[in-house]
Amino acid sequence: MRWSLLLIAPACSFGARSAGTTTDAPAGIDVPHADAQLDAPPVSCMDRWMAHTVRFQPPTEMIELNTTGYERDAFLSDDELNIYFSAVRADSLPTGYQDIYTANRSSTSEQFGPVTKFLGASTTTGAEGKMSMTADGTQLFVATNISGSGSKGGTDIWFSSKNAGGWAPLGQGKAGMLNDPGEQLDPIVTPDGTAIYFAPTSGLPQQIWVSTRTDETKNFGAPTELTELADPGGQGTADPAISADQKLIIVTSARTGTTGVSDLWYATRNDPAGPFGALQLVPDINSADYDGDAHLSHDGCRIYFDSTRNNPAAGDWDLFFAQQQL
């Protein structure tokens, strides 16, 4: 997503399908291969994504995190007990700019507790957007427009690592090859830390790019564009959320077929090294307003996202989540 001061309406960086029904066979009629059906492995949430049969319950607002201001770009730990998001609060620095905030909970059935600023990825001189972290909690990547320390200009993807003394100061570090004088936004690193997806503005509009490395000790290499996800209508594609196996991607776009101002779309592929198939609307999620910035749970059963549906006239971005229909 593209973003700026809270006082400026953030530019979006950027359906439901009918469910099939089944009935029991009439009494006395054998069902072919009934035993085989009973022995079949259970269908997982990721199976439904891959089969394009995924359906969601109505989205739920995360009221414990939302204010009348700005909450976007949620990222959750693999166990979904820790959430990090971009927000403007009374203690945000500079005043009116986004910092990264965090909250915790003891189980996924509970609401999150008190919100505090996450100092590992917040600065006092810039605005912070999407932050993501490796599953082992030792490396983070955040989009921020701070200057100095090797900044390439505009918003870059910055890096920090954690050791016994806490989080190191943000630097270009392992993300240096991702940046150029344009805007680099929406970084999402895979849990194993071997790939990072993001949405730069180089050659507007935004599109999805990816960079890889062999392991967490290495720097990310030069990125490549996922051209199959580009919008032929020129509206752009942004806010990537990627599954752990890199076979499912969720993005934000206002391309032809969008039901609101911007919608969540998804695409799948059988080979994590191959191209994605055609983008499809995420069912049951999108509203008539801005929807975007998805985060997918590790098992694919829940989707977290943000929306202006509560107060579109004020540009009030809030956080929501939805559970798959199982």
Per-residue pLDDT tens over the stretch 245-281: 999 999 999 999 999 999 999 999 999 999 999 999 9
Residue 118 CB partners (closer than 8 Å, separation 6+): 84, 99, 100, 101, 102, 131
Q: What per-residue confidence (pLDDT) applies to 5?
A: 38
Q: What is the pLDDT of residue 17?
A: 27
pLDDT confidence of residue 314: 85
Q: What is the pLDDT of residue 38?
A: 53
Give pLDDT, residue 149. Answer: 80
Query: What local confidence, expressed as pLDDT, does residue 202 receive?
Result: 77
The full 3-state SS of the chain, as one line of letters, equals CCCCCCCCCCCCCCCCCCCCCCCCCCCCCCCCCHHHHHHCCCCCHHHHHHHCCCCECCCEECCCCCCCCCEEEEEECCCCCEEEEEECCCCCCCCCCCEEEEEECCCCCCCCCCCEECCCCCCCCCCEEEEEECCCCCEEEEEECCCCCCCCCCCEEEEEEEECCEECCCECHHHHHHCCCCCCCCCEECCCCCEEEECCCCCCCCCCEEEECCCCCCCCCCCEECHHHCCCCCCCEEEEEECCCCCEEEEEECCCCCCCCEEEEEEECCCCCCCCCCCEECCCCCCCCEEEEEEECCCCCEEEEEECCCCHHHCCCEEEEEEECC
The confidence score (pLDDT) of residue 326 equals: 86
Contact assessment for residue 160 and residue 167, using Cβ atoms and an 8 Å cutoff? yes
User: How confident is the prediction along the chain (326 residues), in pLDDT tens digits per residue?
Assistant: 444 334 333 334 443 323 333 333 333 334 444 444 456 678 999 999 999 999 999 999 999 999 999 999 999 999 999 999 999 999 999 999 999 999 999 999 999 999 999 999 999 999 999 999 999 999 999 999 999 888 998 999 999 999 999 999 999 999 999 999 999 999 999 999 999 999 999 777 999 999 999 999 999 999 999 999 999 898 899 999 999 999 999 999 999 999 999 999 999 999 999 999 999 999 999 999 999 999 999 999 999 999 999 999 888 999 999 999 98
Cβ(212)–Cβ(220) below 8 Å: yes
The amino acid that residue 79 corresponds to is: D
CA 146 – CA 163 distance, rounded (Å): 23
Give the pLDDT of residue 25: 35
User: Do 197 and 209 meet the contact criterion of CB atoms below 8 Å apart?
Assistant: yes
Cα–Cα distance between 59 and 74 in angstroms, integer?
15
Identify whether the C-beta of residue 223 lies closer than 8 Å to the C-beta of residue 178: yes
| Phi-psi region at 242: left, alpha or beta (left = phi > 0; alpha = psi -120 to 50) | beta
- Structural domains of the chain ordered from first start: 43-323 (2.120.10.30)
Taking the whole predicted model, whether its pTM rises above 0.75 is answered as yes
CA angle 232, 186, 108 (to 5 degrees): 115
Q: How far apart are CA 145 and CA 154, in angstroms?
A: 6
For residue 315, with 0-12 CB atoms within 10 Å meaning exposed, 13-18 middle and 19 or more buried, which class applies? middle
